[in-house]
Amino acid sequence: MTLETVSETRCFTGTQGVYRHDSSSTGTPMTFAVYVPDHAEGEKLPVLWWLSGLTCTHENAMTKCAYHKACADLGVILVGPDTSPRGPDLNGDDVPDDEAYDFGQGAGFYVNATQDPWAKHFHMRDYVEQELPAIVAEHFPVDMDRQGISGHSMGGHGALTVSLRNPGRFRSTSAFAPIVSPLNCPWGEKALTGYLGADKAAWREYDACALIEDGARLSDLLVDQGAADNFLEEQLKTHLLEKAVAEAGMNATIRMQDGYDHSYFFVSTFIADHIAWHAERLKA
């Protein structure tokens, strides 16, 4: 597998890189970002996976999240993939898209689509769970025994569900303003119907609350949610996650942050706190 270096830029005491490769999961070129703190030759560092939200590429968190200093200070690699395949594909054909911001390119929801025309390329679950970790392990100084995962909005949904479906892989899991139950919100209804079909039984493996209800567990969880988030009541429904973890007796810290909205201003305010929380568990 050939990995193309798109750019590498010095940032704090580390390097922010952007890389591209041909993906077997999506059948398209995929671009991702990696921040690597300075480290001793031969040393391997813990890795934090960051999954972004609706409309985002690899670039949004890289330029708006303000994670670099915390990662440099704490010696944590951060990897940020794209949120969907994009066209043209490896055969030169267009990747399907939708005019709306909450479906199609930029809105992969970290699922393996089963419905046409999405099933050919929209395999973001396979990409973030299998293909990208193997590529990162091959090309970067990561200790794959020390992985954490986090994300924002749709990416928070991705972080929660990826971690819940892969018990023991991640030492730490956190999220910012996650979509906690796609089964119970308009974003989820639209995306999962489009990608997976109308049978809601097939949706449960992509719903954090349903996974917890069905027996999946995390050893620990940190969630921050802005109390002034205009998506809170209709789309995010944090109270459903609070209910699910309480009924499961799962260890979780869910914090409502007064005055904060859904933006990267909110994420950047608390990202260093999250990285420190992850680092404590990744280095234990």
Active-site residue, 262 included: yes
Active-site residue, 89 included: no
**Residues 167, 280: Cα–Cα separation, whole Å:** 19
> Please, what's the b/e burial string for 54-80 (b: 16 or more CB within 10 A of its CB; e: otherwise)?
bebbbebbbebbebbbbbbbbbbbbbb
The one catalytic residue among 123, 157, 262, 274: 262
pLDDT at residue number 284: 85
Question: Rounded to 10 degrees, what is the CA torsion of 136, 139, 141, 144?
Answer: 40
pLDDT at residue number 232: 98
**Alpha-helical segments (H) within 166-222:** 186-196, 208-213
In this predicted structure, the answer to whether residue 1 has a pLDDT above a threshold of 80 is no
pLDDT at residue number 87: 87
pTM > 0.95: yes
**182 preceded by a cis bond (ω within 30 of 0):** no
pLDDT at residue number 199: 96
pLDDT-derived band at 248, boundaries 50, 70, 90: very high
The model's pLDDT over 122-167, given as tens digits with 9 standing for 90+, comes to 999 999 999 999 999 999 999 999 999 999 999 999 999 999 999 9
**Which two tokens mark 261?**
């909205």
- The stretch 233-244 carries a mean pLDDT of 98
Residue 263: other Cβ atoms inside 10 A: 14
**CA-to-CA dists, residue 84 to 46, 129, 140, 155, 189, angstroms:** 25, 14, 23, 11, 18
The percent of residues in the chain predicted with pLDDT above 90, rounded, is: 99
Nearest to 165 by CA among 116, 126, 120, 113: 126
The one-letter code for the residue type at 27 is: G
Q: What is the CA radius of gyration of the chain?
A: 18
- The stretch 208-237 carries a mean pLDDT of 98
In this predicted structure, the answer to whether residue 261 has a pLDDT above a threshold of 90 is yes
pLDDT at residue number 207: 98
Active-site residue, 172 included: no
- The stretch 246-260 carries a mean pLDDT of 98
The model's pLDDT over 76-114, given as tens digits with 9 standing for 90+, comes to 999 999 999 998 999 999 999 999 999 999 999 999 999
The model's pLDDT over 183-204, given as tens digits with 9 standing for 90+, comes to 999 999 999 999 999 999 999 9
Q: Contact 61/52 with Cβ under 8 angstroms?
A: yes
**Which two tokens mark 171?**
């030492």
Q: Name the strand (E) or helix (H) holding 30.
A: strand 29-37
**Average pLDDT, whole number, for the chain?**
98
Residue 143 has, within 13 A of its CA and on its CB side, a CA count of 15
The one catalytic residue among 84, 224, 229, 278: 229
The one catalytic residue among 153, 163, 172, 181: 153
| CA dihedral for 139, 59, 23, 112, sign (positive or negative) | positive
